[in-house]
Amino acid sequence: MKRRHLVSLLLTAVLPLTFVQSAGAFTNTSTRTMYVKQEIQNANSFYTDLTLKNAKYADMEASPFAFYRATNHLYYADLDTGVIPVPSQWKTTSNVQTWLSGDFHTQNVGFLDNDNGKVVFDLNDFDESYIGPFYWDLLRYTTSLFLMKPELGTSLSDSDIRDVASTFLSTYQTTLSSVNGNSNEKDLYLDKAALTGFMDDQIASVQSKYSTSTLLSKWTSLQNGVRRFNFANPDLGVPTATDRAEVGSYFGIKDQAVRLNSGLGSQGVKKYYLLVEGPTSSQDDDVILEVKEERLPSLFHVHTVSQSLYTSQFSNHGTRTSTANKALLNHVDNYAGSLQSATRTYYVHRISPWKKGFDPADFKSKSDLTEFAKASAQALAYAHARSDRDYNSTYVSYNFEDGALQAIALWPQFKTTVSQLAENYAAQVQADYNSFVGLVNSGQLP
């Protein structure tokens, strides 16, 4: 693939970095409901279009799992206030921090192709990524397992989900052990040769069904012999002059579109698609880039995360997201980078023709879900391990695997505790979801 370089906009202003503080603990159901209302209002205060906000709220009403995906900010606020009662010993143990997904649930890991041309199973969302203790990712993913249970393509019991959670957590630990003391994680990835059973079938299906041609056919068409975005697609909007000014100039750009109806937690932020020339002048190997507005990661709801360190490391949120992508993955696409306008910063990356995630209905048996959880654990362990000093000691100066494994050995019943915390928090999310639906339906949450 021919390397492309991002061309930054000329700026007269620096994007400000704003931080939030979580509220104090609550004492009863009514207080919790008002707290949830305030947190959601704060997190969505950037909306200027009430129609878009209402559309997001409608999507959040779909299920407790959808609500959970859209309220990562509430998860971290609850870590901060002790609603999720993480043992105090975990919080004071050293050498357990690394780059995190920051929003690791079952729909933020899936298939994509890397810069080696391999279709792999890996992390696929870095909007909320920053450095923190590894168990934050484990706990968020495990909670998502319990929340997705009613939507699975098979009927599983709570005991079944506990078994899957146990497999996820055990596989994470054994995968860390396999790369501790070496640097193998920098080169390992989960391609077809590394996957078995259900996951092997899934990656084979993705490889056979998807291609550059299918991606281009979905979003573009040939117009007078030149490829352009197809605005008949309801998920694309025609950019205004303001939109074009936001993106500015980009080397090799052929066309621009506004991306609509995308995501859940990030719904409402600015997103654009750019069409650029591919490796040749052919109209059939063009590349689609996503340019996505980035904001402060939700984990800053935890007051112990250093705000001053963040601002010293990154001048804007887009650069942080791009850095996270390069830290957590290997063989990252050459387009990954950031753009900045006078008011926003953006993460830029290539849209993989083979990008495919998993919906709960995709899992037709306990075995399917177990195989998926095992692969998720491997992908996360590799990502956490390669993003320590192996990536850049400026951010994490030690061997993370060794620190995490020592901590797991030190902390009593670590995996059981994570699973119990996750199951209990899933019940809290269910209650919060019920409160949210009531607030929206009664008009108390505009």
Task: Count Cβ atoms within 10 A of the Cβ of residue 213 and give its class: 0-12 exposed, 13-18 middle, 19 or more buried.
Answer: exposed
Q: CA dihedral defined by 127, 129, 130, 136, rounded to 10 degrees?
A: 140
Under DSSP, the state recorded for 190 is B
78-120, pLDDT tens digit by residue? 999 999 999 999 999 999 999 999 999 999 999 999 998 899 9
**Cα(439)–Cα(57) distance, integer angstroms:** 11
Residue 5 has pLDDT above 70, yes or no: no
Measure CA of the first residue to CA of the last residue in the chain; give whole Å.
Answer: 47
Q: What is the mean pLDDT of residues 34-39?
A: 96
**Cα(57)–Cα(204) distance, integer angstroms:** 36
Residue 408 has pLDDT above 50, yes or no: yes
Q: Is residue 261 very low, low, confident or very high in pLDDT (cuts 50, 70, 90)?
A: confident
Please count the other Cβ atoms lying within 10 Å of the Cβ belonging to residue 113.
21
Q: Which residues of 95-105 are buried (b: 16+ CB within 10 A; e: fewer)?
A: bbbbbbbbbbb
What is the token pair recorded at 281? 């002048």
Residue 369 has pLDDT above 90, yes or no: yes
pTM for this prediction: 0.93
Mean pLDDT, the chain, rounded, equals: 92
Q: What is the mean pLDDT of residues 307-312?
A: 95
* pLDDT at res. 2: 38
Under DSSP, the state recorded for 184 is G
Q: What is the mean pLDDT of residues 5-28?
A: 40
**Cα(144)–Cα(105) distance, integer angstroms:** 6
Q: Is residue 23 very low, low, confident or very high in pLDDT (cuts 50, 70, 90)?
A: very low
What is the token pair recorded at 426? 């899933």
Residue 17 has pLDDT above 60, yes or no: no
Q: What is the mean pLDDT of residues 50-76?
A: 95
**Cα(322)–Cα(319) distance, integer angstroms:** 5
Alpha helix stretches (DSSP H) within 314-413: 317-328, 366-386, 400-410
Q: Is residue 26 very low, low, confident or very high in pLDDT (cuts 50, 70, 90)?
A: low
In this predicted structure, which of 247-256, 313-322, 377-386 has the lowest mean pLDDT? Answer: 247-256
What is the token pair recorded at 35? 């707290």
Domain coordinates in residue numbering, the chain: 29-441
Residue 9 has pLDDT above 50, yes or no: no
- 121 forms beta bridges with 111, 190
* pLDDT at res. 217: 98
